[in-house]
Amino acid sequence: MMKPKVNVAIISISLAKGGAERFASLLSKMIEAENIAVHNIIINDAVDYDYKGKLYNLGTASSSTFSVFKKIEKGYLLCKYLKNNNIDVVIDNRPRNHYIRELLTTLIYGSRRIIFVIHSFNFKNYFPSPQFLSQKLYRNATKLVCVSKEIEEGIREKLGFLNTITIYNPYEVVDTVVAEKVSDNENYILFFGRFDEKVKNFSLMLEAFSKSEIYKAGYCLYLLGEGPDLVFIQNKIKELQLDEFVKILPFVKNPQEWIAKAKFTILTSQYEGFPMSLVESLAAGTPIVAVDCKSGPKEIVKPEHNGLLVENHNAPELSKAMKRMIEDENLYNFCKKNASESVEHLSLDTISKQWKALILFDTND
């Protein structure tokens, strides 16, 4: 006799633009199975990524125009949806940094099994201060899923939680037929992601690119994405007199071909969680140059095997790494040869087994 379906709700800010949102879309694909029914619930009306299962858009379902009333209405609609659809498991994929809001949210979730995903080493986005408030919020959680081992270790050491597990972010093999087309004549290194200076540290990236002088060898820096700090980046490019060598490209849903044809991709973040851009780059066979920020890069980059990892906030060392990847052909070819194989353990199929085991074990124990 077949067991009844497990109804799982993945709750996210949206399904657009960001890494956590991209993860939510992949998670819906990973856990969709004969015995799991997926419900994607988004707070804001923004959908760029493909997903599996049902979609409930609180942004369009709510009718209030006044901000406070709209939030209250969304809470009511969420509570109603969880009840009417017999949701067994909630996977909360949002930032959670406001204690009162999160306390009310946990009341809405009720006695269901709750899995919270921690996407960043910037713990203040997920654990309200002071510490005892966070402990009250999370003490009854089924699991805190951390996207890197360094995040899990930090949560255990700093906050004392033991109900933790690390499950890495996966990559998805994308059909390049639908990818954005890129000219074969372009020589470039690539950043792709959100234009957020406080997180991504474009100042460091642009300064190191300028110092490296790899533009003299015909290589440009392409910045692919969008975000609140576009003007800041444009001004920084002008300040460093890099207008001729740095190109800003708009966000595209599928950057696969941009990634595959880049010489290498670059990450200079202040902090991360488990940066999917690095994983997606390696999966496409493209080496990486990254700073050793907290957290993720050192769990992805194998120095001189699939890329180069340098001390964070060190523009001279970063510029040397950029230059080395251009000039040292033996190193570059070796890293490129190893790139895709180095992330095989992060395939959608592999990571989906871990998520399904977590969900089904916790619902059937």
> What counts of helices (H) and strands (E) characterise the chain?
15, 13
Question: Do residues 194 and 200 lie in contact, with contact meaning Cβ atoms separated by under 8 Å?
Answer: yes
Which residue, 52, 57, 64, is CA-closest to 11? 57
pLDDT at 139: 84
Helix residue ranges per DSSP H, the chain: 19-31, 58-61, 67-84, 99-109, 131-138, 149-159, 197-200, 202-212, 230-239, 256-261, 276-283, 297-300, 315-327, 329-339, 348-364
Measure Cα distances from 262 to 127, 184, 221, 242 in Å.
37, 10, 10, 19
pLDDT at 135: 87
Give the C-alpha separation, 170 to 167, whole Å.
9
Question: CB-based contacts of 33: which residues, under 8 Å, 6+ apart?
Answer: 356
Residue 48 CB burial class (10 angstroms; 0-12, 13-18, ≥19): middle
Fold matches, 6-170+347-364 and 176-345: yes
End-to-end CA distance of the chain: 18
pLDDT at 365: 44
pLDDT by 10-residue block (mean), the chain, 365 residues:
84 92 95 93 95 97 89 96 98 94 94 96 91 87 97 94 95 64 84 96 98 98 96 98 97 90 98 95 97 97 98 98 98 98 95 95 57
Give the C-alpha separation, 52 to 38, whole Å.
7
Give the C-alpha separation, 282 to 200, whole Å.
19
Q: Is the dihedral of CA 28, 34, 39, 45 positive or negative?
A: positive
CA-based max dimension of the chain: 70
Q: pTM here?
A: 0.91
pLDDT at 166: 98
CATH architecture assignment, domain 176-345: 3-Layer(aba) Sandwich (3.40)
Give the C-alpha separation, 104 to 224, whole Å.
38
Q: Where are the domains of the chain?
A: 6-170+347-364, 176-345
CATH 3.40.50.970 fits 6-170+347-364, yes or no: no
Question: Do residues 313 and 321 lie in contact, with contact meaning Cβ atoms separated by under 8 Å?
Answer: no
DSSP 107-121: HHHTTSEEEEEE--S
Give the C-alpha separation, 93 to 42, whole Å.
10
Give the C-alpha separation, 217 to 197, whole Å.
27
Q: Crossing angle for the helix pair 315-327 and 202-212, nearest 10 degrees?
A: 50
DSSP 272-297: -SS-HHHHHHHHTT--EEEE--BSSH
Q: Which residue has the tokens 């907290």?
A: 294
